[in-house]
């Protein structure tokens, strides 16, 4: 009997340990090396940042994990946005998820990336 | 006049003569799908506007016909220097990174005008920005009655609303009843 209890305890501990291991998944998204306004850079603009766009399951995973409350986005009807510093994740009316942020190449600091 | 019309309508065969033949395809002007995407004509001579932005060759300048017509109409009505048209939508619509909108062929990015009239970038916080000419251009879009909102951050410009990163372009959101993409 004590052996059975010990075995059960061991099983419980290992299951709990497995549950706490981070799960990794493949990213769906794209990146670009860009400047502050990559759409219309003024002469001499420096490509000083990497802009990331996550979409699909990757973006949903991040959106769902963000604790901040979503706010209605005024530039696209029905779109809800969660913002935490430079990280911005959105969910549109068709349940498409997107996350955007940029990282400065010189110092690794984050910057907002998306535009309206 | 009314009597004359009545008389004509009563004339046997005359009415049929003027009615469109149901076997014939509709006139080209009636064939345009009001929600189908068309590309903005690229830098037409004397068109009153020019194209800029990425992706190249106007690949991000597709819109519903009403949007394209609005640009052409405003360009035709003005007598000023040509204005720069940037991103609208991709050929099939949908996500257009890094935009949140620009999915449905109803959003237009437009450069503010410069005091030197050059077709180059301009920013309302920088020298070379022509506020009066930009206000007149924005007024022309608003006068069409087809504009939902214009996003632009110059606080001295009337008829616009601020939104982050709208310093070097204003964003015209056009009214539409077309389905979303």
- Contacts A29 to B, Cβ<8 Å: none
Residue A60 lies in a domain: yes
Q: Do B164 and A90 touch (CB under 8 A)?
A: no
Residue B4 lies in a domain: no
Q: What's the pLDDT tens digit per position in A46-57?
A: 999 999 999 999
Q: Do B173 and A100 touch (CB under 8 A)?
A: no
Q: Please report which helix (H) or strand (E) contains residue A110, including its range.
A: strand A110-111
How many domains does chain A contain in total? 1
How many domains does chain B contain in total? 1
Residue B10 lies in a domain: no
In this model, does residue A9 exceed pLDDT 60?
no
Question: Within chain B, where are the H helices?
Answer: 2-10, 14-18, 28-31, 65-77, 131-143
Residue B29 lies in a domain: no
- Please give, rounded to a whole number of angstroms, the shortest distance from the CA of A97 to a CA of chain B: 10
Residue B24 lies in a domain: no
- Minimum-distance CB partner of A93 among B52, B54, B180: B180
The CATH number of the domain holding residue B95 is 3.30.1380.10
ipTM tops 0.85: no
- Minimum-distance CB partner of A116 among B121, B163, B168: B163
Residue A30 lies in a domain: yes
More confident residue, B2 or B165: B165
Residue B108 three-state SS: strand
- Contacts B98 to A, Cβ<8 Å: 38, 51, 53, 100, 113-115
Residue B138 lies in a domain: yes
Q: What's the pLDDT tens digit per position in B73-107?
A: 999 998 789 999 999 999 999 999 999 999 999 99
Residue A13 lies in a domain: no
Residue B160 lies in a domain: yes
Q: What gap in Å lies between CA A85 and CA B173, rounded to an integer?
A: 27
In chain B, the percentage of residues whose pLDDT exceeds 90 is: 77
Q: Which residues contact B52 (CB under 8 A, 6 or more apart)?
A: A40, B84, B85, B86, B111, B119
Residue A5 lies in a domain: no
Q: Is A54 on the interface with B (CB under 8 A)?
A: no
Residue B94 belongs to what domain range?
A: 34-174
Residue B20 lies in a domain: no
Residue A45 belongs to what domain range?
A: 25-111
């Amino acid at each position: 009997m004590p052996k059975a209890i010990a075995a059960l305890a061991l099983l419980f501990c290992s299951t709990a340990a497995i549950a706490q291991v981070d799960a990794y998944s493949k990213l769906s998204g794209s990146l670009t090396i860009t400047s502050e306004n990559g759409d219309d850079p003024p002469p001499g603009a420096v490509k000083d940042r990497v802009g990331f766009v996550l979409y699909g399951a990757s973006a949903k995973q991040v959106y769902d994990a963000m604790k901040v409350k979503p706010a209605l986005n005024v530039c696209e009807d029905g779109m809800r946005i969660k913002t935490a510093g430079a990280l911005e994740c959105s969910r549109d009316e068709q349940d498409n998820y997107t996350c955007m942020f940029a990282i400065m190449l010189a110092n690794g600091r984050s910057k907002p990336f998306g535009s309206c | 006049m009314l009597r004359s019309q009545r008389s004509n309508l009563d004339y046997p065969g005359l009415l049929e003569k003027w009615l469109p033949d149901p076997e014939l395809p509709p006139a080209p002007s009636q064939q345009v799908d009001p929600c189908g995407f068309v590309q903005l004509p690229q830098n037409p001579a004397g068109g009153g506007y020019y194209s800029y932005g990425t992706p190249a060759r106007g690949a991000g300048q597709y819109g519903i016909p009403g949007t394209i017509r609005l640009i052409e109409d405003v360009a035709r009505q003005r007598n000023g220097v040509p204005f720069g048209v940037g991103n609208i939508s991709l050929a099939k619509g949908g996500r257009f990174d890094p935009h949140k909108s620009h999915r449905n062929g109803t959003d237009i990015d437009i450069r503010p005008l410069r005091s030197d009239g050059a077709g180059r970038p301009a920013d309302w916080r920088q020298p070379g920005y022509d506020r009066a000419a930009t206000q007149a251009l924005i007024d022309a879009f608003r006068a069409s009655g087809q504009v939902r909102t214009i996003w632009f951050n110059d606080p001295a410009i009337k008829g616009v609303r601020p939104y982050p990163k709208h310093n070097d372009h204003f964003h015209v959101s056009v009214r539409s009843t077309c389905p979303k993409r």
